[in-house]
Chains A and B, each alone.
Chain A
Amino acid sequence: MAGFSDAPRTVPRKSWTFDDSTLSEIRRAAATGIYDIRGGGSKRRLPHFDDLVLLGASMSRYPLEGYREKCGTDIILGDRFASKPLRLKIPITIAGMSFGSLSAQAKEALGRGASAMGTSTTTGDGGMTQEERGHSQTLIYQYLPSRYGMNPDDLRKADAIEIVVGQGAKPGGGGMLLGQKITERVAGMRTLPVGIDQRSACRHPDWTGPDDLEIKIQELREITGWEKPIYVKVGAARPYYDTTLSVKAGADVVVVDGMQGGTAATQDVFIEHVGIPTLAAVREAVRALKDLDMHRKVQLIVSGGIRSGADVAKALAMGADAVAIGTAALVALGDNDPALEAEYQALGTTAGAYDDWHEGRDPAGITTQDPELSKRLDPVKAGHRLANYLAVMTLELQTLARANGKSHVRNLEPEDLAALTVEAAAMAGVPLAGTSWVPGRGGY
């Protein structure tokens, strides 16, 4: 009987379920016995703002001239109870990132870039540094479960206070900063021994639930003379209820952070499997505000995967008042730059994929406390790059708003949007393109 040695063979096929990344993680876990920790946000494909389009002008909408007619971008945040609300020139803010996870140079650059564009930047889990305050025209002071570096003097120096209940990368999880980054200065600010693997608490130490939060907000207002806007930041978990409860607790501003939002360090399983996409969170948060008749009275800031003026325009059209950027701002500073490819290769990764921010070996000098690496980042030049990037995002946002006939970006509305996928239509609550069908609402 003839053999089958000459018979055609199927091409070797790798499993979709057990793809290369999954296989490598199984091998890594088997070798080390501990879960994978990394920085950044969710890396998997998720329904996002790319799945929406703006419709532009037509017979029923008159566009504005791109270079002739004004399109406003200014925004007031926190005028519900605070006597000194924030007045920003653009609705794009810099999200909270800690000194400790980031170098002092990176924090300074964020402040410089944001200030140049008339917007705010935000402290993080680790307190306020002088560099950051000095270079940030408008600085939001995060009030976190760990309360590292928390003191009333810095509280009074801040322009607004952001009570962090959770973040999109890890709703329900606390912060993490491994020993490589706990230098003497970082340890001193956090009252911790140098070099330990630091875990931040996931719950606030002195309040539990929205009723307590209401009292906590009163205390912070009493300490700061009812001047400063109080934000409440939640990870996108149950955004309808979290937004509702934040408003009832007395927030001036609600920040909703989707699962694409980054973190300095946490378990990969947490980043990829807890929380919901930003797109889905915006619609629910806006619905909560409208149900309470508080839309535009309590401002909504959305974060998690915002990359361009198009993302901003779509978020605003869905009902957000402003956005916050974190990962994109770090990229603007110089994170994951292909010019550093050789050094990323030496770390076992590649430009664009580097996410071992917790190890403190960032060749770009951003997510590190190593003095030699940190020195590589020129805060003036990096701040200029961030300002440029914010300027481009703003121009893009204005371009899209004018194309939809808006004289101010806040006038963008859901009627300016259509969805390219059924999933995005369902999540965003806008019609599938070419139809009048919104899943769950009927029509077609």
Chain B
Amino acid sequence: MTTTLANSELDVVALDRRAVNRTLQQAERGDFTVINPCGTHALACGLMNPIGVTIKGHTGYYCAGMNQRATITIEGNAGTGVAENMMSGTVRVTGDASQSAGATGHGGLLVIEGNTSARCGISMKGIDIVVGGNIGHMSAFMAQAGRLVVLGDAGDDLGDSIYEARLYVRGKVASLGADCIEKEMRDEHRAELADLLERARMDASPDQFRRYGSARQLYHFHIDNIGAY
């Protein structure tokens, strides 16, 4: 079904979640404003097309989950798992985000202008995440691919059991998790970081960041690594 709407306003309270999501999922283009989100879960999830969605207020769990191509802005705070398993597109949270932001995301850009809680970027598989504030503990746990940029501080066990994701942190790192180490910041890293900061509309210099990634010591089971398991 083809639906072309411009600057349409969708009221979650008046329509209910299913109707709002159905409209957004079926739209092929256009810009939408969602009002009265009231912390509703699973809002604007499963979008497939390059539409624009602005949500005026706070959202519950899994807002923008599995997004494909849409550009979604949450003008407020987001609950657990914002943009989980995102494939492409852009999701921006102007406030703070709860835990598991961008979990398992395969692609696209997630920007959180405020802070985010534990497990940010857990099992990320190619998504780019830029956080303006701090991130909680166990962020980038088992992170497989993609980039996580943190302008503030990172909590304990950053990048535990990380695979090939690249982490950039401007502030303090409370502790690194198993097999995560600080790595040399080379020109190509500064260049990709500058690009990410620009796309996220964050004002910071790449020179202020440190890079972290996998030591690749736990990629194969070995008795000498038993203490790390």
Chain A residues in the interface with B (C-beta under 8 A): 32-34, 146-147, 150-152, 155, 178-179, 190-193, 196-197, 199, 201, 205-207, 212, 215-216, 218-219, 222-226
Instruction: Tally B residues with Cβ within 8 Å of A.
Output: 43
A197 and B221 within 8 A (CB) = yes
B223 and A191 within 8 A (CB) = no
Could you tell me the distance in whole angstroms from the C-beta of A37 to the nearest C-beta in chain B? 8
Residue from the list B18, B99, B126 in contact with A191, Cβ < 8 A: B126
A150 to B86, CA, bound (A): 10
A369 to B161, CA, bound (A): 25
Q: Is the interface of A mostly helix, strand, loop or mixed?
A: loop
Given contacts A150-B104, A196-B220, A197-B220, contact A219 B45 (CB under 8 A): yes
A218 and B42 within 8 A (CB) = yes
Q: Is the interface of B mostly helix, strand, loop or mixed?
A: loop
A224 to B123, CA, bound (A): 23
Contact residues in B for A152 (Cβ distance below 8 Å): 46, 48, 66, 68, 85, 87
25 contacts between A and B (CB under 8 A): A150-B85, A152-B87, A155-B66, A191-B144, A191-B145, A192-B144, A192-B163, A193-B164, A193-B219, A196-B163, A205-B104, A205-B141, A206-B81, A206-B122, A212-B61, A215-B41, A215-B62, A218-B41, A219-B41, A219-B65, A222-B21, A222-B46, A223-B65, A225-B25, A226-B18
B41 and A205 within 8 A (CB) = no
Which one of A33, A151, A191 has the greatest number of beta carbons of chain B within 10 Å?
A: A191
Contact residues in B for A147 (Cβ distance below 8 Å): 85, 104, 123, 125
Residue from the list A179, A215, A225 in contact with B60, Cβ < 8 A: A215
A197 to B46, CA, bound (A): 32
Residue from the list B42, B99, B126 in contact with A215, Cβ < 8 A: B42
A197 to B220, CA, bound (A): 5
Residue from the list A150, A151, A222 in contact with B45, Cβ < 8 A: A222
Given contacts A207-B81, A218-B42, A222-B42, contact A201 B223 (CB under 8 A): no
Within 8 A of A (CB), among B43-84: 45-46, 48, 60-62, 65-66, 68, 80-81, 84
A199 to B144, CA, bound (A): 12
Chain B residues in the interface with A (C-beta under 8 A): 17-18, 21-22, 25, 41-42, 45-46, 48, 60-62, 65-66, 68, 80-81, 84-85, 87, 99-100, 103-104, 106, 119, 122-123, 125-126, 141-142, 144-145, 161, 163-164, 219-221, 223, 226
B80 and A207 within 8 A (CB) = yes
Contact residues in A for B223 (Cβ distance below 8 Å): 32-34
A155 to B87, CA, bound (A): 13
A179 to B142, CA, bound (A): 17
Contact residues in B for A178 (Cβ distance below 8 Å): 221
The 8 A-B residue pairs with the shortest CB-CB distance, nearest first, are: A223-B46, A206-B81, A219-B42, A206-B100, A147-B104, A33-B223, A196-B219, A152-B66
